[in-house]
A and B are shown apart, each in its own frame.
Chain A
Amino acid sequence: AQRVTQPEKLLSVFKGAPVELKCNYSYSGSPELFWYVQYSRQRLQLLLRHISRESIKGFTADLNKGETSFHLKKPFAQEEDSAMYYCALSGGNQFYFGTGTSLTVIP
């Protein structure tokens, strides 16, 4: 079964500290992995996707097929990073979302 797991429901870090949001997945084929972000009372928007291998707002995520992980990282957290983050998997014309991690960056 296809599944996306985000083990941390809540995560708090201090401004300037590194942050890592964990995501593990299970999928029988070759999935595409995404991170979506939802700022307070806004729509979900794409943060980054694994095939583009780019850094957005200082965030990066590497797809580790051996560990079936797609953790989101940023070396220095900023207050404006406080938001809800969803890991998502696309496969077979369907999207599967994790339960989300609420990140709070403490000033």
Chain B
Amino acid sequence: DTAVSQTPKYLVTQMGNDKSIKCEQNLGHDTMYWYKQDSKKFLKIMFSYNNKELIINETVPNRFSPKSPDKAHLNLHINSLELGDSAVYFCASSDFANTGELFFGEGSRLTVL
């Protein structure tokens, strides 16, 4: 009964490839996010979706494209991977109407060689 689940947990790929990370939440939340945690453990918001609509798009290269087929899913697609994309990517969801708390997935560790 995992609340926020991400797949895959680990991803090793070559520069220039395209990859996707999937995220699903079963909490019934309206808002979902993608965060990037770099090697220094800085946590940076990338995208936020509310009811399938993009509400936050921070300064992220357009090689990163989020897709939300429904409010329970927010996938992250990355084109033309670069070395600097190596990081841990966290999906999260929240229900601002009630608790405002963020629930995180376990993270997806992306390594670009």
Whether A associates with B in a native complex is yes
For the residues of B in contact with A, the DSSP-based class is strand
Q: Is the CB of B101 within 8 A of A100?
A: no
Q: Is the CB of B102 within 8 A of A94?
A: no
Answer whether A93 and B50 are a contact pair too, CB < 8 Å, given A43-B106, A44-B104, A45-B104.
yes
List the B side residues contacting A93 at CB < 8 Å: 31, 50, 55, 96
CB distance from B71 to the nearest CB of A (A): 15
Q: Which residues of A contact B101 (CB under 8 A)?
A: 34, 46, 49
Number of contacts between A and B (CB, 8 Å)?
Answer: 45
Residue in B31, B50, B96, B102 whose CB lies within 8 Å of A88: B102
For A38, the chain B residues whose CB sits under 8 A away are 41
Number of interface residues of B (CB under 8 A): 21
**Structural contact, A102 and B41, CB atoms closer than 8 A:** yes
A contacts, CB < 8 Å to B = 32, 34, 36, 38, 42-46, 49, 84, 86, 88, 90, 93-95, 97, 99-100, 102
Question: Could you name 30 residue pairs across A and B whose Cβ atoms are closer than 8 Å?
Answer: A34-B101, A34-B102, A36-B102, A42-B106, A43-B105, A43-B106, A44-B43, A44-B92, A44-B102, A45-B104, A46-B101, A46-B102, A49-B101, A86-B43, A88-B102, A90-B96, A90-B100, A93-B31, A93-B50, A93-B55, A93-B96, A94-B48, A94-B56, A95-B33, A95-B94, A95-B102, A99-B41, A99-B42, A99-B43, A100-B42
